[in-house]
Amino acid sequence: MNFNQFNLDSRLLASIRRAGYLTPTPIQEQAIPAALAGRDLIGTAQTGTGKTAAFVLPILQRLLDGPRRRARALIITPTRELAEQIHGVICDLGTGTGLRSATIYGGVGITPQTEALRRGTEILVACPGRLLDHLGQGNARLDEIEILVLDEGDRMLDMGFLPDVRRILKHVPAQRQTMLFSATFPVEIEQLARQSLRNPERIAIGLSRPVHTVEHALYPVSKHLKTKLLLRLLEQTRTDSVLIFTRTRHRAHSLAKKIERAGYKVTSLHSDRTQGQRQTALNGFKSGKFQIMVATDIAARGLDVDSISHVINYDMPDTADAYIHRIGRTGRAERTGDAFTLVTPDDHDMLRELEKIMKQRLPLLTLEDFDYDAPAPVVEPTRIQPRRGMRPNRSFEPRRPATAHMRHK
């Protein structure tokens, strides 16, 4: 299968070549022909599968014909970072078509967005809240939308955006093509699909299973030794870019400081930072200025950064789904990556659920020269972990040596 078979415009084929895509990914193979035929789609695909191009290419192809300077395609996505990322893919793949794309999201000035809307743009990539503001102020009109994409449906649900999405749907013509993408399908998303799509074709790629190019490893450790172990892992592992996840923005901030003190170039991405700071962090991470980025789930949702060699879960994610989304940041497309997770005795239940969903036991590794029995600082007696929580527990026994898939310097 190659891209020529889709009968795409030669300008699109040229930008596909420029982007370095040789063959369509499985979701592109299935979604592109259906979308080009005008079908509604439900795509079960996580990021890292090539899903953005799977909906962007059919949109660009369709918009080549017909009126310009009017909003004809609307992509709704939960976070600003994702909006920028999708906009970037549109700009790359749409080079030479003369089509325009604008991003609409909160946390930045409204005027430049209003001006872009007034000038006329064919594609809008929007987060729900700010788009509603523009609709309320009469800056945006959606009555000529032909294609609607609802991206990361489950995350929009988690973030409480579904009521806003429903409000937006009222402004969009009923006669349209709709594509809904979601990694999981809770009842609310199924309901939204029933209400907003017509006879959709369902395409499922890697449903709640991580991309195969990622190797997983669990590192059991007491809570109070997490940072020490992390620093040791960073020291002993040959890495390109490393993305580290923490549970809260406060932990992201303080961990980044500790890593910095250990001599690394590190930045952080979380919702306490302004949009400008986030963009600087992201650009610095993408360019390699910062080798390490510490992030929370929401901030890092769907990030598309090439060459992330390692995702490290400093804190175990709250759900198996979150784990899959996090590790989707590495091993993207045909690259390989490692996913390390620090596991404390408190994480047992989550670990069991994760292994059930992934249908595999994940290897437990220990570092040979690490003092797992170092006591917790006495100044914080409440944090001391019982030592027996560590290795004597059967399921915390390492199943293969630490060197098995770590690339030591």
Contact positions vs ligand AMP (CB under 6 A) = 21, 24-25, 28, 47-53, 304, 332-333
Q: Measured from the CB atom, is 28 or 267 closer to ligand AMP? A: 28
Q: Measured from the CB atom, is 58 or 220 closer to ligand AMP? A: 58
Among 95, 122, 123, 98, which residue's Cα sits nearest to residue 19?
Answer: 95
Q: Measured from the CB atom, is 47 or 341 closer to ligand AMP? A: 47
In the complex, the smallest distance separating the C-beta of residue 376 from ligand AMP, rounded to whole angstroms, is: 40
Strands 241-245, 292-295: pairing kind = parallel
Residue 100 identity: R
In the complex, the smallest distance separating the C-beta of residue 261 from ligand AMP, rounded to whole angstroms, is: 32
Among 224, 185, 167, which residue's Cα sits nearest to residue 45?
Answer: 185
Rounded Cα gap, residues 2 and 134, in angstroms: 40
In the complex, the smallest distance separating the C-beta of residue 26 from ligand AMP, rounded to whole angstroms, is: 10
Q: Measured from the CB atom, is 51 or 226 closer to ligand AMP? A: 51
Q: Measured from the CB atom, is 54 or 362 closer to ligand AMP? A: 54
In the complex, the smallest distance separating the C-beta of residue 24 from ligand AMP, rounded to whole angstroms, is: 5
In the complex, the smallest distance separating the C-beta of residue 47 from ligand AMP, rounded to whole angstroms, is: 4
Rounded Cα gap, residues 151 and 128, in angstroms: 11
**Any long-range contacts for 162-170 (C-beta under 8 Å, 24+ apart)?**
162/188, 162/192, 164/128, 164/129, 164/132, 165/76, 165/128, 165/192, 166/192, 167/132, 168/74, 168/76, 168/128, 168/131, 168/132, 168/135, 168/142, 169/196
Are the CB atoms for 309 and 242 separated by under 8 Å? yes
Q: Measured from the CB atom, is 21 or 290 closer to ligand AMP? A: 21
In the complex, the smallest distance separating the C-beta of residue 407 from ligand AMP, rounded to whole angstroms, is: 23
Rounded Cα gap, residues 339 and 311, in angstroms: 5
